[in-house]
């Protein structure tokens, strides 16, 4: 697998290869800061409009209690499994259970919960729309809890706390799988994916010392909507494909992913090292 230093620094060397100049780093930090403030302002603006309507239909105390109930539910679900989708319907149900006839109240409560997460914790309660295998949007919406802070602030978290928060080995595996799927035209036959994973020492049905059961790891990525698993008919029968899920499409910029793939190929970096990287 290579030395510890190689494992912990390779991604930085690959992705930040051109940032040896101080000016480049400063531009990157400024861009991150502007993006953070812009997103925070968007969340606050939506919440401000929706909250005014919600407070008009219930007391301020009751409104704040409902916001707290929603946030606790989201934290509990995120604590059980990070990046696990939480349906909008389940969160709205917390409100409609108490106020079934106040049509606009759930929307106001959810908007204020989003603002509170962003304002107080630097987290984004991001709403996504589930898509079909064809890429068409469905009517099902759900939320993912993510860090809203710029990367330099997240990098400030050191030691065991950060490792527990980010689970870098698992995210590295996800990145490798998404790269493989991307190189296959955003759709990869399950059998072909396993053939490539086997080259990295990940065998179906065989326990791995880092990832445990690789099949369970893939299933988790599907539950988190980083991957979608699609069955299609063919002349030889039914074939299973993996495609990028809407969570991956929303969180990971395709240009950045392509750039990372290009730099890895150009540098000749051992993909086995990338698996264990943050």
**What would the pLDDT profile of 89-120 be if each residue is shown by its tens digit?**
999 999 999 999 888 899 999 999 999 999 88
3-state SS assignment for residue 97? coil
**Which own/partner pairs from 230-233 qualify as long-range (CB within 8 Å, at least 24 positions apart)?**
230/133, 230/187, 232/133
Question: Per the structure block, which two tokens stand in for 86?
Answer: 């939480």
The pLDDT assigned to 10 comes to 42
Convert the pLDDT of each residue in 40-82 to its tens digit. 888 888 888 877 777 778 888 999 999 999 999 999 988 877 7
Over residues 15-32, the mean pLDDT reads: 60
Give the pLDDT score at 5: 41
Please report which confidence band the pLDDT of residue 169 belongs to, taking 50, 70 and 90 as the band edges.
confident
Would you call 105 exposed, middle or buried from its count of C-beta atoms within 10 A (0-12, 13-18, 19+)?
buried
How much is the pLDDT for 67?
95
Task: Report how far residue 182's alpha carbon sits from residue 261's, in angstroms, rounded to the nearest whole number.
Answer: 9
- Range 232-242 average pLDDT: 88
Q: How confident is the model at residue 131 (pLDDT cuts 50, 70, 90)?
A: confident
The mean pLDDT value of the chain amounts to 80
Q: Lowest-pLDDT range, 1-5, 31-35, 265-269? A: 1-5
pTM, entire model: 0.70
Among candidates 47, 90, 44, 42, which has minimal Cα distance to 69? 90
pLDDT at 194 over 90: yes
Encode pLDDT of 218-229 as tens digits. Answer: 999 999 999 999
Between 1.10.10.1210, 3.90.1150.10, 3.60.10.10, 3.30.420.40, what CATH number should domain 167-275 receive? 1.10.10.1210
Say if residue 261's pLDDT is above 90: no
Q: List strands edge to edge, sheet with 86-87.
A: 86-87, 137-147, 123-131
Strand partners, 126: 144
Provide the residue ranges of all domains of the chain, joining segments of one domain with +: 26-154, 167-275
Q: Looking at 21-35, 50-64, 176-190, 248-262, which range is the least confident one?
A: 21-35
Kindly report, residue by residue over 33-46, the tens digit of the pLDDT.
Answer: 788 788 888 888 88
């Amino acid at each position: 697998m290579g030395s510890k230093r190689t494992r912990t620094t390779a991604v930085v060397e690959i992705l930040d290869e051109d940032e040896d100049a101080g000016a480049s780093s400063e531009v990157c930090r400024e861009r991150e800061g502007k993006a953070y403030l812009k997103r925070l302002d968007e969340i606050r603006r939506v919440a401000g409009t929706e909250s005014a309507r919600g407070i008009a239909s219930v007391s301020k105390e009751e409104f704040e209690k409902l916001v707290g109930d929603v946030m606790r539910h989201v934290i509990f679900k995120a604590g059980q499994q990070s990046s696990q989708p939480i349906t909008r319907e389940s969160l709205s149900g917390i409100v409609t259970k108490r106020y079934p006839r106040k049509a606009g109240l759930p929307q106001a409560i959810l908007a204020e919960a989003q603002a509170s997460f962003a304002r107080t914790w630097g987290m984004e309660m991001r709403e996504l729309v589930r898509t079909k295998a064809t890429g068409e949007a469905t009517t099902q919406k759900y939320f993912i809890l993510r860090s809203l802070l710029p990367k330099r602030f997240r990098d400030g978290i050191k030691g065991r706390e950060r490792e527990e928060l980010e689970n870098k080995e698992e995210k590295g595996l996800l990145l490798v799988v998404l790269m493989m799927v991307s190189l296959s035209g955003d759709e990869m036959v399950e059998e072909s994916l396993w053939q490539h994973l086997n080259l990295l020492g990940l065998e179906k049905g065989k326990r791995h010392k880092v990832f445990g059961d690789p099949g369970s790891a893939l299933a988790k990525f599907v539950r988190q909507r980083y991957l979608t698993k699609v069955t299609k008919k063919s002349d030889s029968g039914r074939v299973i494909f993996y495609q990028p899920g809407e969570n991956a499409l929303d969180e990971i910029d395709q240009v950045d992913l392509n750039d990372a793939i290009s730099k890895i190929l150009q540098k000749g970096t051992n993909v086995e090292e990338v698996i264990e990287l943050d």
